[in-house]
Structure 1
Amino acid sequence: MTELARVTIPQPEPDLQPAELIARARAMREHLREEGQATEDRGTYSPETHQMFRDAGFYRTLLPRRFGGYEFDVTTFLQVVIEIARGCPGTGWCLCLAAGHGVHIGGFFNEKAQSDALSPDGEFAAPLRGIPMGTATKVAEGWQIDGMWDYCSGSPYSTHAIVAVRLIEDGAPTGEGLALVPRKGWILMDDWRHRAFGMRGSGSNSITMDATVIPDECLVRGSLLKFDGELKSPGYELHGNPMYAGHPLGYLQLEITSILVGCAYAALDEYERIITTKKTPGPHGVARVNSPDMQRYWGLAAGKIRASEEVLLAMGRFYTKLCIEAAEDEKGFDTEQITSINASTHHAVNLAWEAVELLFRTSGTSEGGTNGSRMQRYYRDFSTARTNIGLQYESYAPRFAQAHFGLDVAALV
């Protein structure tokens, strides 16, 4: 056995269970809610909150146990994110899109890359940008990375970045790849919070790299955005967990949906505060909670949000099932099944949006229509999230049909 094969990192809490991790996230709700405005102003959550997340184990949720992670399942992670986003949607986005890529470091990169990245203490978080906005040029020491990648959500507290690159070898383009770059190899730009309409606290900054050199094992060939599964998953053989054989396009939409389900619950919580503490307009106002209209609005919204959560969790379990089947079957993932996850979770997002829009509209001008109010922030956060290319459900629907009818499935980008 080689020295590398003996590298292991202990978990801080070996007996930690998924239910306790979710409970820890739920217990932070009021802290995150109180920090919401400061998080938006700062562009990310505070260093103190970051330390709380580290202590709670959130960053380790999906990391391999061998390298200090808890290796919980995807559905557990989605439930953690819902609870965090229910306290602060921007924080939920920032945490999710940094901690959520434990499945990618554990799946796509080989043993040496994982060992080096996660040593000595199992600390890992990374934004993931799947559109190749820079280059990887083959050099004697490995690969030289150059470029600027925008919308690197989760980057402020990340230890690494995972970015798509265009490969250049012997002066000619040779395809695409995915580069794993440590924090010292990139520069974080403060170009998000001041221009964003919403999700200002999501840490969706750009990052730049200028002649950063990474070793060969930190680059894998293939595209993150293709349905044919051209990215290999050595992590399954290394860890024996089908989660590390997952298809990225089945997983990435689950992340965003979990954040927005949490955002919708945040709006519902705020609506409950409003209708239980304020009266209806006019000289004979009554407690809003006693108004049949307000009861109707709350009931409609609560039902839509609950339905969206159930769709999300069902798709999380379905994704896990697909991972198990793909690990057992050399044929890998079926494109129609992968696109069905997107199709279903898109409508979960639509249900949650309908709820947030209703709650915002009926909360009153003194709430939703007032700068600095929580209801307005949740509305802006969800509105901004809906501009994400991954949520353009009209564009994905034809791909679902193409896969079903055995036609060529159009590339995403």
Structure 2
Amino acid sequence: MSTATDLSLTSLPTADGFQGLLATVRDLRPRLLEEQDATERRGTFAPEMHAMLASTGLYKAQQPRRYGGHELDIPSFLTLVRELARGCPGTAWCFCLSAGHHIQMAGMFDASVQDEVYGSVSDFLAPGRPVPMGTAEWVEGGWRVNGLWDYCSGSPYSTHALVAVRIVGGPHQQPIGLVVVPRDQWSMLDDWAGSVIGMAGSGSNSIKMVDALVPEGYLIPGGMMGVAGGADAPGYRLHGNPMYCGQSAGYAQLEIASILVGTARAATDEYERLLRVKKTPGPNPQPRYTAGEHQRAFASATALADAAQDVLDNAAQRYSGFCVDAVNSPQGFSPAAAGRTAMAANQAVDLAWQAVDLCFKMSGSSEGARNGARMQRYYRDFSMARTNIVPKFDMEAERFAEAYFAG
């Protein structure tokens, strides 16, 4: 197993294959745009798109090199997610919240468990549900898991599930834990498509486990967002990469923000298209892109989307620096650092929302209000995402300030 000391950001692993993967995502954009409506009706992207994401190596973007992945750094992975969302927000949500959980799998679980789990599949994909909506009961040599977890985004094509549980018996003293469960031990409910106002293509189905049996090491004590990261994390000891220092808090907000900043880019793209093909009303119609009110709106929306992206990129880079600090400090990853990351990510979300809202308002009723219109879909997708518990600045601000002054 490898270790590292006195790390700096310049010594992090390079983003091998990033430019190729980025080009692949951008090449997929026309198809993603074309399939948006079908993705929304289906509840997730098509099996053909799933096969394409697998064959191009996109699913391996964040997977450790030890297990055949690219091990992209966090800013690079989030860029891929953002570009996917520019083509289809629902697809990006489903992809990110299944292919983006190596931070937990490769960071928190012991080497022997990682060898078994990663060794059983080519691409590790798993929804992560941090709310303990089921139980793990100690049985000889392992755990019996039962429960029903809703909002398991990414579950349609996942190979495993990462879910929080209430611990019953066993060697651990903590009341809750995180368990990884193979796909053949759980079932996905058909309860997502057509059930929500937006992000209907995100594959956020519920999953159910009935007497699922997993080995002892497949459960780690503590909450997904509450496990302290640092040099002692199994993932850092195994991979020597601070990205796998066992810290989730803060990263979850970056994931959601990357999807929503990409959605803002999608909205500005669509608004530009409308300006080029539509004319102003009245006796002397003119191309909308020549009208002052539309020029001002497009410029403002572009600036807001640019600012959102800048904030997100810097927050992701800062988070990577916090991971380096965590493995160089006996205190590990501080709650204040997690809170600072989350707040910045949520500021990016707020800027992105302003861009989407402006594009929606200025697109006109024939686009903003019409069922099937892309602009309406982006507005609905973003509106749905804002109800998620993650992009809530005020909640993160209180947690950050409490941790900051306690330190």
Q: TM-score, normalised by structure 1?
A: 0.92
Q: Which residue of 1 aligns with 2:10?
A: none
Q: Secondary structure at the match of 1:382?
A: helix
Distance apart, 1:316 and its partner CA: 0.8
Supply the distance in 1 between the matched residues of 2:64 and 2:230 (Cα, whole angstroms). 22
Are the structure 2 counterparts of residues 227 and 339 from structure 1 closer, same or farther at C-alpha, using a change threshold of 3 Å? farther
Question: What does the per-residue CA deviation read over 1:107-159, in whole Å, with 9 as the maximum and x for residues that have no partner?
Answer: 11111211111125532100000111100000013000000011000000000
Q: Which residue of 1 aligns with 2:159?
A: 159
Cα pair 1:145 1:211 within 8 Å, conserved: yes
Distance apart, 1:162 and its partner CA: 0.3
Distance apart, 1:283 and its partner CA: 2.5
Distance apart, 1:78 and its partner CA: 0.3
Question: What does the per-residue CA deviation read over 1:1-26, in whole Å, with 9 as the maximum and x for residues that have no partner?
Answer: 9xxxxxxxxxxxxx952111112111
Q: Which residue of 2 aligns with 1:63?
A: 63
Are the structure 2 counterparts of residues 258 and 313 from structure 1 closer, same or farther at C-alpha, using a change threshold of 3 Å? same
Further displaced range: 258-267 or 336-345: 336-345
Q: Which residue of 1 aligns with 2:347?
A: 347
**Structure 1 residues 5-404: aligned runs within 5 Å:** 17-120=17-120, 122-169=122-169, 174-226=174-226, 233-404=233-404
Q: Secondary structure at the match of 1:144?
A: strand
| 1:118 maps to amino acid | Y
Are the structure 2 counterparts of residues 402 and 173 from structure 1 closer, same or farther at C-alpha, using a change threshold of 3 Å? closer
Are the structure 2 counterparts of residues 140 and 91 from structure 1 closer, same or farther at C-alpha, using a change threshold of 3 Å? same
Distance apart, 1:405 and its partner CA: 2.0
Question: What does the per-residue CA deviation read over 1:280-336, in whole Å, with 9 as the maximum and x for residues that have no partner?
Answer: 012211000000110100000000111111111111111111111111222101221
Are the structure 2 counterparts of residues 173 and 400 from structure 1 closer, same or farther at C-alpha, using a change threshold of 3 Å? closer
| 2:123 maps to amino acid | E
- List runs of 5+ in structure 1 lacking aligned partners: 2-14, 408-413
Distance apart, 1:104 and its partner CA: 1.5
| 1:281 maps to amino acid | P
Cα pair 1:97 1:154 within 8 Å, conserved: yes
**Identity percentage over the alignment?**
47
Q: Secondary structure at the match of 1:345?
A: helix
Question: What does the per-residue CA deviation read over 1:38-90, in whole Å, with 9 as the maximum and x for residues that have no partner?
Answer: 00000000011011111121111111111111111011100000110000000
Cα pair 2:235 2:246 within 8 Å, conserved: no
Supply the distance in 2 between the matched residues of 1:232 and 1:354 (Cα, whole angstroms). 41
Q: TM-score, normalised by structure 2?
A: 0.93
Number of residues of Structure 1 aligned to a counterpart in Structure 2: 395
Q: Secondary structure at the match of 1:66?
A: helix
Q: Which residue of 2 aligns with 1:410?
A: none
Supply the distance in 1 between the matched residues of 2:358 and 2:327 (Cα, whole angstroms). 43
Cα pair 2:229 2:326 within 8 Å, conserved: no
Further displaced range: 176-185 or 101-110: 101-110
Cα pair 1:220 1:231 within 8 Å, conserved: no
Q: Secondary structure at the match of 1:405?
A: helix
Supply the distance in 1 between the matched residues of 2:223 and 2:97 (Cα, whole angstroms). 19
Q: Which residue of 2 aligns with 1:5?
A: none
Are the structure 2 counterparts of residues 310 and 172 from structure 1 closer, same or farther at C-alpha, using a change threshold of 3 Å? closer
Question: What does the per-residue CA deviation read over 1:350-373, in whole Å, with 9 as the maximum and x for residues that have no partner?
Answer: 000011001001100000111110
Are the structure 2 counterparts of residues 75 and 56 from structure 1 closer, same or farther at C-alpha, using a change threshold of 3 Å? same
| 1:127 maps to amino acid | P
Structure 1 stretches of 4+ with a deviation exceeding 2 A read 170-174, 225-233
Cα pair 1:223 1:231 within 8 Å, conserved: no
Question: What does the per-residue CA deviation read over 1:198-248, in whole Å, with 9 as the maximum and x for residues that have no partner?
Answer: 000000000000000000111111112337559972011011111110420
Question: What does the per-residue CA deviation read over 1:170-198, in whole Å, with 9 as the maximum and x for residues that have no partner?
Answer: 69985111100000011101111221110
Q: Secondary structure at the match of 1:366?
A: helix
Supply the distance in 2 between the matched residues of 1:231 and 1:169 (Cα, whole angstroms). 29
- List runs of 5+ in structure 2 lacking aligned partners: 2-14
Supply the distance in 2 between the matched residues of 1:185 and 1:178 (Cα, whole angstroms). 16
Cα pair 1:166 1:173 within 8 Å, conserved: no
Are the structure 2 counterparts of residues 171 and 54 from structure 1 closer, same or farther at C-alpha, using a change threshold of 3 Å? closer
Q: Which residue of 2 aligns with 1:11?
A: none
| 2:35 maps to amino acid | E
Supply the distance in 2 between the matched residues of 1:317 and 1:153 (Cα, whole angstroms). 25
Q: Secondary structure at the match of 2:220?
A: strand
Q: What do you get for the CA RMSD once the two structures are aligned? A: 2.0
